Structure 1
Amino acid sequence: MTAIDSEAGTEGDRREHLLAKLADLDEQHAKAVAGGGEKYVARHHERGKLLPRERIELLIDEGSAFLELSPLAGWGSDFTVGASVVTGIGVVEGVECMITANDPTVKGGASNPWTLRKTFRAAQIAEENGLPSISLVESAGADLPTQKEIFIPGGKVFRDLTRASARRQPTIALVFGNATAGGAYVPGLSDYTVMVKEQAKVFLAGPPLVKMATGEDTDDETLGGAEMHARTSGLADYLAEDERDAIRIGRRIVARLNWRKASPEPTAYAEPAYDPDTLLDLIPADLKEPFDPREVIARIVDGPSAGNEVAFDEFKPLYGASLVTGWARLHGRPIGILANAQGVLFSEEAQKATQFIQLANSSDTPLLFLHNTTGYMVGAEYEQGGIIKHGAAMINAVSNSTVPHLSVLIGASYGAGNYGMNGRAYDPRFLFTWPNAKSAVMGPAQLAGVLSIVSRAAAEAKGKPFDEEADAGMRAFVEQMVEEQSLPYVLSGMLYDDGVIDPRDTRTVLGICLSVIDTAPVAGTDRFGVFRM
């Protein structure tokens, strides 16, 4: 199946290009891991406290993976990369859980607008996939200078916790330090609450505000200390001796949940027929250069085995050739795949996708979308051929499909092609981006060219001479601006994906996601909107 271009230098050039991007990605991730910086990390450790990722490492099962989500949240903003919170999926006592951990080295773990967006996304994933949630709490509450952006929407955090409990999705809070003001409601609204002795402080208002509001003189321990809440208020269900004891108790709580997945265990599987490492040899540096998505598929899906004689069963291989569709298994779980081939979506591709999505729903099969598209085809011939109604049918199918969707941007994701291929606006269960990918309303050169044509037409309509020099400057400026805005870090920083990943990790990441999806029942639909014929 595979036929990597072996022209002299091609593979090496592609690999070097992606390795350079991956090195830069490591640097960006390091900014999130650094938290508030060496000074505040050292101060935190000197107090005998663990960092958020250290707490997570002790919480999850030894040797298991932690799928961190939205690590670049807030990238390019005025806030620290990572948004002062760590979120992700980890296995605790054999149970996949959504884990949220405040980073107290960043302004005491105070929540800024990006913290909220990241927390909301984590809660959405937990809800859609039926996951228990564990909150590792140590936060000074809201970032007061940005309170106008936090206060009103922030109430959704509390709503999400109570609704999760009502859905019988357990919520657990392990409190390691301050949980002030609105933050106090996280342990208050959780099903189970553990507080660390002489560290946890949970109160609606600290001593200074109490003094101002009521005139009462009090101290942290009397007002909201862990022992008080364990012995007097009853807010603490468990009193931990130290952080490690709190984590031990948290693990025992999960072990007693009697938690069960809705879906059956995956079948036995073989590793891919081709080494995922060779993905780095496949992807051109120039997104305009096409590559065969079958090569990508061959490196992420299960290889042939006794119960899976063919790794990828392609559907309609001779029709709509610029969109590859077919069936496979990934870590033993069934999946339907839609992958862009030559970039442009024509009417045939849209009709093929619509049928394929309906078939996946009829067989309760999750769908994986691999993006590398410049959008739907334009031009008089294609408009007359019905490209709008055929593209609309594809978007209709994507919008109303109820089987879980996964999306990975492996190249370009421009225009309405982003929508038809299940972009962020269509709520895929998970969406990840490769470091070479780009997404925008259209390519930088095309957008600048459109603006140039419009400006030229306006000048002609007014009978004025067209300023070619100014036009060239405008085009260069717009191309640079769109290029910068379409880069993965910008999009990931705005939470338009769940993370930028190494292409070689794609199979592992998708395997974790499919396992998470199987926590809740998978059911397709036979109810779609009106399809224009």
Structure 2
Amino acid sequence: MSHVWSDEIDEISRRQRFAELLGGEDKIRRQHENGRSTVRERIVDLLDDGSFEEVGALAGFATRADDGSTVSVMPANFVFGLGEIDGRRVALGADDFTIRGGAADASIMAKQVDSERMAGALRAPLVRLVEGTGGGGSVRMIEDAGYTYVPANPGWDALVENLSLVPVVAACMGPVAGLGAGRVAMSHFSVLIEGISQMFVAGPPVVKHATGETLDKEQLGGAEVHRRSGAIDRIVPDEKAALQAVRDFLSYLPSSVHDVPPVIAGIEPTTSSEGLADVVPRNRRQPYRLRTILDAIFDGGSNFEYAGFGASVYTGLARLDGHPVGVIATDPYKGATMTPNGADAMTRLIDLCETFHLPIVSLTDQSGMQIGLAAEKSASIRRGARAVVAAYQARVPMAEIIVRRVFGVGGAGQVNRHRFNRQWAWPSGDWGSLPVEGGVEAAYRADLEASDDPEAMMKEIHDRLEVSRSPFRTAERYGVQDLIDPRRSRELLTRWVRDAYRVVPEQVGPPSFGTRP
């Protein structure tokens, strides 16, 4: 049956088929041979079945016949639209590497800008699947255009605004450089795939020309570079894990700062609380397994590592009786001090929680900021102080369980100790201005030098101090709110989080200060 607009309706369908061809069979085959899916395959894998509503599918670069009719259209290499993840509306923008390697000279920048504006306008979480440069294109564009321009990062007013408005996730799905790397950094959570994706400000040819360094993509910006660089939050083994990390991360957060975090049915922990009575050794120099504590306190399967570059400083998301919370702790097998990178990880988590109204649980075991020449060269004190400022600026409810150590500026500032936060300490608690083990020789040096038996005197001093440093002495002076049986930790935190979530709705809205990457 013929309609008035039948020809145009058929043309819409024809042009939609062009969009689905991407860069053509050869480029799609090459993408697969390099171990990477195409942009449209990723969208299918990430979103709920049939939920993707594409915007701007017909945008591209047409080939015309002599009579002006359209022979074909090469689609723009950026795909965006709306979809759902676990039934919740999200915005998605994804690069197509099969067309000019994801470069901007095969894109229509208005699409990328609109993906950012759409997320903000609809208050929908934004997922960026980044692959390629996404910047100003190649140098050949200068000759083609006949002029150069003063750069302005396209749409970055929207990128900056979104950081304080909606959750933003960026996954490196292949090589990422230039403006593409900037789009990854401008997120609340970033993912890189080991052996598949790399991220750098400029690629190997530019680096070789500028610095003389001869490096391949993996050496310049692969997983080993970014495992501790602080530029990437999570390293994963494959695309499937990357997309799952995106889904998992978003599950803890509200759709925007104008909503409260999603509360779901609680799940019992995977590990019995009975083991918490034995997890911390009496020998203060002996480490313990942080995972045992996390698995015994928080809902089963809910522990999600966040900024994985923090070394000894663990930052994560979890649920208490179904309520999302941020978690700060220490992994003693990776160290006891707050490293500069660890301070950055702590700052990043606290800022995330403040932006999206997640209460924070601190499982405190902090022996202070890292010391030594390497630490000083890395601005240990400034970066540590910045983490402390983040803790003090945050308005969200905080609770603290002192697992073991609280020493120095780092330990003192892991939570805001100048407002009321619920606090419990385990009998393994050990605190002060600095660890006794490192301070006895300095404090009693003259006495020890004058003694006929310094070793015996040292033991006598330690024995005296051991009595005074008992956590019960601190509790007597209300230096700590409560000493508890470690096995009660989940029970008490669950009660607290229910109280915290009565306060959270009063804090919805933009954060107290603009969120920075």
TM normalised by structure 1 equals 0.44
With CA pairs under 8 Å and 6+ residues apart, which has the higher RCO, 1 or 2?
1
TM normalised by structure 2 equals 0.45
